[in-house]
Amino acid sequence: MFCHLKSKIFGLFAVLIVGMALPSLAGAWVKVKGDGDRWMKFGAGFRSSFSTSNDESVDAGGSASDISLDNMRFYTLTQVHKNIIFEFNTEVNNTNVRTNNNYSQANGNGQFQNVFVLDARATFSIGGFDVWFGKFLPPSDRSNLNGPYFLNVFDFPIASPYPAIAAGRDNGAMIFKEYAGGKFKWSYGISEGRTNATDGNTNPDEHDNFQHAFRATYNFWDPEPGYYTTSAYYGAKDVLAIAFVYRYENDGAGQGVTATTQGDYQGWNVDFLMEKKLSNGAVLNLEGAYFEMDTDDVVDGTLDQGETYLALASYMLPNKMGWGKFQPYVRYQARQVEIGANAGTRGIMEGGLNYIIDGHNAKIMTSFTSDTNGQNAQPVDTFKIGMQFQLL
């Protein structure tokens, strides 16, 4: 497998070297000032990748190569009053499947590069508390609150198994509070949870119960202000953070509404992040998370009962080469599913080399993964090179 990929890997690695000649891109919102306290900010984010693998489920010959538009987002943030803001973001809904007339919604094949509403929420600041309403990321793990643009690697982890409409979002309401500039913060929210939109089977929640979500984070070193998170600061601060998440929904699991096909859903996780800028200017980053999901021992076609964990270590070199710095990393992920068609163990070993030009605003990332699934005849080995640019 590796010999088969070698020529492609060397060619793709040249793209990473070319990235060293790119100019540094300064990331900042484009801001339009209105009268009084009113303003509007605009931003955008682009992610694309090339991958090649021996995945026979994609290519019977065992040589699947793809160029993907992974994400293309447009961001807006508007303040209409000193205590009221609203956010509206869009995303590309891209299956990368080419069919006839695939730009038309009418023929049922309209999932290719359609744009959909990613976030649409309003936030009221009342007495030091932020109250959110609309479609947004409910309280969950760090990877989910990072989103794809603020991870320390290119690919989203197999963890973060909480139910959602799309991209971790759901319709709901939330209250958020932080202390000492983000030294300690917590959030609690309710959302629609299991509906026909978040379940590929018959919706088990016939009584339309809310899903409850809670997250609490404590930072031992520098604070992390704000609700959203990141898994890499690239030396901008020293972070030692630990968080706990819990989510629950009555009748939130299953494939029907009978005693044998309906159950309660609960999930929890802890996640950890340590980043330290060393005396030589290098940056050490360690990240870990553990998840446990319970579907009440009922098989669910969308949610898996079991446990998942991940561990990641990266080291950003102190000296620039060209316009950026190299960052080698390793990551391991594992999932144990207890019941259902996906029952078994899956493990993904991954190593890569990132080229950080301007933090999360401009970077090129490479990875080699070996995905071992108990249901596969052989591991799926994949080489990928991805690029990310955003104005934010």
User: What tens digit of pLDDT does each residue of 4-59 get?
Assistant: 444 444 444 444 444 444 444 344 789 999 999 999 999 999 999 999 998 766 55
pLDDT band at 303; cut points 50, 70, 90: confident
Query: What torsion do the CA atoms of 32, 169, 177, 264 make, to the nearest 10 degrees?
Result: 170
User: 370 by DSSP, 3-state: which?
Assistant: strand
pLDDT of residue 373: 82
Region 313-326 average pLDDT: 97
Q: Which two tokens mark 287?
A: 């990240």
Average confidence (pLDDT) over 310-338: 96
Distance of CA 155 to CAs 43, 333, 366, Å? 22, 12, 10
In Å, what is the CA distance from 149 to each residue of 84, 90, 161, 218, 229?
26, 14, 18, 23, 11
Contacts 24+ apart (CB under 8 A), 180-185: 180/223, 181/223, 181/225, 182/219, 182/223, 182/224, 182/225, 182/226, 183/218, 183/219, 183/223, 184/216, 184/217, 184/218, 184/219, 185/216, 185/217, 185/224, 185/227
Hey, where are the domains in the chain? 2-391
Could you tell me which of 151, 169, 140 has the C-alpha nearest to residue 45?
151
The closest alpha carbon to 381, from 336, 351, 344, 343, belongs to 351
Are the C-beta atoms of residues 354 and 324 closer than 8 Å to each other?
no
Which three-class secondary structure state does DSSP give residue 12? helix
Question: Would you give the DSSP letter of residue 143?
Answer: H
Q: What is the pLDDT of residue 112?
A: 54
**How many CB atoms neighbour CB 259 within 10 A?**
9
Percent of the chain exceeding pLDDT 70 equals 83
Supply the DSSP symbol for 375: T
Q: How confident is the model at residue 375 (pLDDT cuts 50, 70, 90)?
A: low
| The pLDDT of residue 99 is above 60 | no
pLDDT at 202 exceeding the cut of 80: no
Mean model confidence pLDDT for the chain: 87
Q: Which CATH number fits domain 2-391: 3.10.20.740, 2.40.160.10, 3.30.420.40, 2.120.10.80?
A: 2.40.160.10
Q: Quick one: which of 117, 258, 252, 272 has its CA closest to 198?
A: 252
Phi, psi dihedral angles at 14 (to 5 degrees) = -60, -30
Find the helix or strand (DSSP H, E) in which 11 lies. helix 2-19
Which pLDDT score is estimated for 165?
A: 84
Q: Greater confidence, 207 or 268?
A: 268
Q: How many residues does the chain have?
A: 392
pLDDT at 294 over 90: yes
pLDDT at 22: 42
Give phi and psi for 144, each to the nearest 5. -65, -40
More confident residue, 109 or 368: 368
- What distance in Å separates the CA atoms of residue 161 and residue 308, rounded to the nearest whole number? 9
Mind giving me the DSSP string for 80-102? Answer: EETTEEEEEEEEEE------TTT
User: For residue 117, what pLDDT is reported?
Assistant: 94
Mean pLDDT of 216-226: 98
β pairing state of 114-126 and 129-136: antiparallel
Amino acid, single-letter form, for residue 215: R
Please check the confidence at residue 206 and state whether its pLDDT lies above 80: yes
pLDDT for 102 beyond 50? no
- For residue 33 the two structure tokens come to 């000032």
Residue 97 confidence (pLDDT) above 90: no
**pLDDT number for residue 377:** 60
Count the neighbouring beta carbons within 10 Å of the beta carbon of residue 358: 18
Write down the pLDDT at residue 56.
63
* Rounded average pLDDT over 323-344: 93
pLDDT of residue 95: 55
Ranges of H-type helices in 235-356? none
| Helix (DSSP H) and strand (DSSP E) numbers for the chain | 2, 17
Q: What is the mean pLDDT of residues 238-265?
A: 93
Structure-derived torsion over alpha carbons of residues 17, 357, 332, 372, reported in degrees to the nearest 10: -40
- Residue 364, judged by CB atoms within 10 A of its CB (0-12, 13-18, 19+), counts as buried
Alpha carbon dihedral 145, 306, 163, 368, in 10-degree steps, equals 50
Task: Give the per-residue pLDDT at 201.
Answer: 63
CB proximity list for 195: less than 8 A, separation 6 or greater: 203, 205, 208
Paired tokens of 302: 């969308």
